[in-house]
Structure 1
Amino acid sequence: MKARQLYTLLALVFATSATMAQSTESEKGGVAILGGVNLQNFNGKDFNGDKLENDLLAGFHAGLNVQIPIAPEFYFQPGLMFSTKGAKNTTGQVTSTYRLSYLELPLNLVYKSQVGNGYIMLGFGPYVGYAVSGKATYVSGSVEVNNDIEFTNEVNDGDGLLTPYFKPLDFGGNILFGYEMAGGLFFQLNSQLGMVKINPDDNRIADDKTNVKNTGFGLSAGYRF
C-alpha cells in the first residue's frame, strides 16, 4: 500500500512539473532524458559498531527530469529515475554482493551560467527513493547462492535467518556538476549521500549497532528538448 501511495505521489509531482515546464518553455524550460553509470557503496557500521569495509559496485541509472525557471539562471529540476545501488564485500572465502533497484525522485535546485555556446550547471537538492527489487549473491569458490532481498522496516524472531533484509525507503542529498551544449546535449557528474539507514531494526540481535546508508557517484549523459 505504501509503495502504491509513493508511485501515485511521484506521478502527480512529475505531471504537475511537466505542465509548469510547458508553460515556461520560452524561458529555457523543458524535459530531458538522461542515463549513465553509477559506482555505489554502503557506508556505516556493522552490528558490532565497526566501520563497514566494502568495495564499490557498478550500476546504472536512467530517467527524465523537468527544468522549471524560477529566477534568472536558477531552475527547479524535479525528476523520476530508475537507479541501481548496492555494494560488494569479501570476508574470508565468501564474496557477498548486494544489488538494489530504486525508483527515485530527485528535487534539485540548479544554477546555469553561460560559458561559450553552452551552460555550466551546478545543482544540489534532496532525493527520495523507494526500493522495488533486490538480490544478494554469495560466492565461495565454484559455489554461488542467490537470494531475493526482502524489504521491511523490522525483523523479528521467526523471520528467515538466511534472508537478506533492507528497508524500502531511502532519503538523501544530491550534488551535480556538468555542461549543457546549445543544442540540448549535456553531460554531468552526480554524487549522492544517503541520510537515513536502509537496514531494518533487527529485534533478533541484542544491542544491534548496524547502520547502513547508500552512497555513490556517477556520470550521466542526456538531451534536453
Structure 2
Amino acid sequence: MNKTITILMAFAFFTVNALAQDNKIYLKAGLNLANVSTSDDGSYDNANGLASFHAGFMADLPLGKVLSVQPGLLFTGKGSKLETGSSTDAIYYKNSVNPYYIELPVNLIANIPLVDGESKFFIGAGAYAAAGIAGKYKSTFKTPAGTIESDGKIEFTNDDPTTSEEEGAGLGLMKRFDYGINGTAGFAFKNMLVSVNYGHGLAKLNSGTSNTSNDNNKNRVWSISFGVSL
C-alpha cells in the first residue's frame, strides 16, 4: 500500500508540474491485444490473444527541445485466452482470463519535429507499475463423459515478493501487483496524438510461480492509443 501511495504522489507531482508549465495533458484510450507468455523464453501463441481496452490520462513534460517525459494513469485490461479443439469435437477446452489494472507508466521520449512545426514523431521507452483491481475468468472443458464449466471473479493475492510466502494458485487467483518495461512510438499533432505501445511484463502472474529464472507466465500487451489534449 505504501508503494502504491508513493507512486500516486509521484504521478500527482508530474501532473501538477505539467499544468504549471502549460504542458499538455491528454485524455487517452484505445485497444489492447493482450496475452500471457507460455514458455521459458517468454514467447506465446499469437492465436490466443485477448482483445481488451485502456483509458486514462497521459502528460507530456518537455525536458528540452528533444526529450520529454510521459507519465500516465490508466485503467487497462490484460490477460489471455486459450482454445484447444473445436466446440463440436468430443474433447474441447477453452478458457479466458481478463484482469483489469490501474497502471502507472512512465516513458522517456525523443521527439522529432515535423514540417508543420506543430506536429512531431516521438519514440521512447520506460517502465510501468500496476495493481489488479477487478476481472473475470471463464473455462469450458468438454469430454465424452460431459462438460464442465466454471466462471467467476478474479481474486488478487498480496504475495510478498521479498519472501517465499505465496497464497495459492488457480485460474481465478492472481498476484495483485504487476510491473515491467514499455515501448512507445507515434505522432503528436496540435490537439491529438496516436501511438503504438508495447508492455513487457516482468512479474509472474500467479502464486506458485516464484521462480523468476524463466520468462513464462507474464503479461504481454500490444496497444493502439488515441489521445486528445485537454
Scaled by the length of structure 2, the TM-score of the pair is: 0.80
Using the alignment, how far apart are the partners of 1:162 and 1:174 within structure 2? 27
Using the alignment, how far apart are the partners of 1:210 and 1:189 within structure 2? 23
Q: Which runs of no fewer than 5 residues in structure 1 stay unpaired? A: 204-208
User: What per-residue deviation string (whole Å, max 9, x for no partner) do you get for residues 120-149 of structure 1?
Assistant: 011210000110012110134687431222
Using the alignment, how far apart are the partners of 1:135 and 1:56 within structure 2? 16
Using the alignment, how far apart are the partners of 1:10 and 1:222 within structure 2? 23
Name the Cα RMSD after superposition. 2.6
Structure 1 runs of 4+ with >3 Å offset: 51-54, 140-144
Please tell me whether residue 13 in structure 1 is matched to residue 26 in structure 2: no
Q: Name the amino acid aligned to 1:75.
A: S
1:100 Cα offset (Å): 0.4
**Preserved contact between residue 102 and residue 131 of structure 1 (Cα < 8 Å):** yes
Please tell me whether residue 81 in structure 1 is matched to residue 74 in structure 2: yes
Using the alignment, how far apart are the partners of 1:19 and 1:202 within structure 2? 39
Aligned pair count reads: 207
The one of 223, 226, 229 equivalent to 1:221 is: 226
Please tell me whether residue 212 in structure 1 is matched to residue 226 in structure 2: no
The one of 194, 200, 213 equivalent to 1:193 is: 200
Q: Which runs of no fewer than 5 residues in structure 2 stay unpaired? A: 85-90, 160-165
**Preserved contact between residue 199 and residue 210 of structure 1 (Cα < 8 Å):** no
1:30 paired residue number: 24
The one of 165, 168, 171 equivalent to 2:173 is: 165
1:41 Cα offset (Å): 0.3
Using the alignment, how far apart are the partners of 1:155 and 1:17 within structure 2? 35
Scaled by the length of structure 1, the TM-score of the pair is: 0.82
Larger strand share, 1 or 2:
1
Using the alignment, how far apart are the partners of 1:144 and 1:74 within structure 2? 52
**Preserved contact between residue 187 and residue 222 of structure 1 (Cα < 8 Å):** yes
1:114 Cα offset (Å): 1.0
Q: Name the amino acid aligned to 2:15.
A: A
Using the alignment, how far apart are the partners of 2:13 and 2:98 within structure 1? 32
**Preserved contact between residue 37 and residue 215 of structure 2 (Cα < 8 Å):** no
